[in-house]
Structure 1
Amino acid sequence: MKITAVIPARYASTRFVGKALEDIQGRPMVQHVYERTSRATLVSDVIVATDDERIAQAVRAFGGRVEMTRADHETGTDRLAEVAARIDAEILVNVQGDEPLIEPGMIDQAIAPLMHDPTLQMATLKSRIKTLHDFLSPNVVKVVADLKGNVLYFSRSPLPNFRDKWNDLKDEAFVSGKLLCFKHVGLYVYRRDFLPVFTALKPTYLELSEKLEQLRALENGYRIKVVETEFDSIGVDTPADLEKVLEKLNAQGAR
């Protein structure tokens, strides 16, 4: 089974223009993402999908594979679907281009459900919430699932709502496991045939309300498997996030 990871990378990011090319210990951020993704055991090939020649040149310079895409895509999934139509792969992994610390094991964990269940079209990841700040923050997407690991809902609001336990909303309660809550990790795996179906669907009410594209799949009755991961990463949305990445790498002495 051929599995290809695609890294959508834009230059004109709203909050951090040109972040894909920001230097991290002598290499552009997109190279860190590419190299870490390449280490995933289940991934056969890695492609950077971009509409910007500056990013394309940087990828070619380190020997990476790049596919140029249209500039009018509204989401990374749309960019992924364009690339998927051109290549020979049964499963596509959408790896965010602003995750320079992504663990290869996370990618393998997200892929595994589609390898074991031929009826499954889409999978993603979740990790434990351990702070009250993350639980309450609208910038941290929460996810709840059924007992079989199928997603019930994603939300920017606190989820679930602890009706009788608001006095327990402290960091310790989350760390100890007294309150089990999960944040969504934005790494997606799709069966190739599902991508054109998904991207052809019109945006839905809940999707537009929460500004969460994955709700479109749920509202149209598609099942999403979510796997818990013990790994954590730092998404780079702002220059401050980049500083956190550099601090972590320097503390690890890693390159």
Structure 2
Amino acid sequence: MSFIAVIPARAASTRLPDKPLLDIAGKPMVVRTAERAALSGATRVVVATDDARIQAAVQKHGFEALLTRADHPTGTDRLAEVARQLALAPGAIVVNVQGDEPLIDPRLINQVAQLLAGQPDAAIATCATPILDARSLFNPNVVKVVCTRQQRALYFSRAPIPWARDALADGGQRLAGGLPALHHIGLYAYRVDFLERYSSLPVGPLESFESLEQLRALENGYAIAVHIAAAHPAAGVDTADDLARVRESFVNRL
């Protein structure tokens, strides 16, 4: 089974300007992410960027980089442009790997691709991990997903779902014992034909209110398969503290 890993990388970031180019142990962050993606078994790793500086930095380190439009509303739309530029077959599988994930586990990338390949009736595959503390459950920045018994997504939300009615009847914030709460991880596998279809799908009220683009697929009747990973992957880089943590991790490896 073959798949392509595509890494969207935009220079614009309110917290960390030029984030993909920030140095991590002698290489740009996006290059460190590409190195991890290359270990996943992907037949091709492509960085998709709207910045010529990022393209040049990626190519300098031996990876493929394509320039894409700067006005894409979502990362999924950017992937669709990459698929068109590369003239990928409709059934080809593309995995979206965020450019600020220099510690991502390559096995997770492969597992998501394998999941989609094994479920031809699913439009998307993604992953999640069990939530083990109340703070994460009630944190709106932690996206939750609830699934069917067949591990298909029913809904994604920033709210604490599923809601443990009896355990939370007193208004407290706690994690009920045995609650099947899952933290959604923003790693996605798509088939090219769905990528082409996605941008033409209407944006519904759920996506608008939750600000979660994966809800567009559910609102329009498409299935999302979910891989449940036992351990939570290493966090990406959103803040200066995250960057310091990742840099320290690489120094300790050297």
Normalised-by-shorter TM-score class: over 0.9
- Deviation readout 1:164-204 (Å, 9 max, x if unpaired): 1137955xx57xx6333111000000011110111111221
TM-score under structure 1 length normalisation: 0.92
CA contact 1:123–1:189 (8 Å) conserved in 2: yes
* 1:234 aligned onto 2:242: no
1:247 deviation in Å?
3.6
- Aligned pairs for 1:177-192 within 5 A: 178-192=178-192
For the Cα contact (< 8 Å) 2:15–2:239, is it kept in 1?
yes
Alignment match, 2:246: 245
CA distance in 2, matches of 1:230, 1:249: 24
Residue correspondence of structure 1 range 23-62 to structure 2 within 5 A: 23-41=23-41, 43-62=42-61
Partner of 1:154: 156
Root mean square deviation, CA, Å:
1.7
Q: Distance in 1 between matches of 2:70 and 2:250?
A: 33
List per-residue Cα deviations over 1:19-59 (Å, max 9, x = no partner).
Answer: 11111111110011000000002x11000000101101110
Whole-Å separation in 1 of the counterparts to 2:132 and 2:216: 28
SS at match of 2:7: strand
- In 1, Cα distance between equivalents of 2:196 and 2:247: 37
Q: Which secondary structure does the structure 2 equivalent of 1:234 belong to?
A: coil
Measure, in 1, the Cα distance between the counterparts of 2:221 and 2:125: 14
Alpha carbons 2:121, 2:223 under 8 Å: kept: no
Matching residue's letter, 1:125: C
Aligned residue pairs: how many? 248
Tell me how far apart the structure 1 counterparts of residues 143 and 79 of structure 2 sit (CA, whole Å): 22
The structural deviation recorded for 1:130 is 1.9
1:1-255 equivalences under 5 Å are 1-41=1-41, 43-87=42-86, 88=88, 90-166=92-168, 170=174, 178-231=178-231, 232-250=233-251, 253-255=252-254
- Aligned mates of 2:132, 2:22 — CA distance in 1: 29
Contact 1:109 1:229 in 2 (8 A): no
Runs (5+) with no aligned partner, structure 2: none
Quote how far apart the aligned CAs of 1:160 are.
0.9
| TM superposition outliers: structure 1 runs of 4+ over 4 Å | 167-170
- Paired with 2:206 and 2:162, the residues of 1 have a C-alpha distance of 17
Distance 2:16 2:212 in 1: 20
Q: Is the 8 A contact 2:128 2:145 kept in 1?
A: yes
TM-score by length of 2: 0.92
- Contact residue 100 and residue 234 of structure 1 kept, 8 A: no
2:243, 2:203 → 1: CA distance? 32
CA distance in 2, matches of 1:160, 1:246: 36
Partner SS for 1:85: helix
Percent identity between the aligned chains?
A: 48
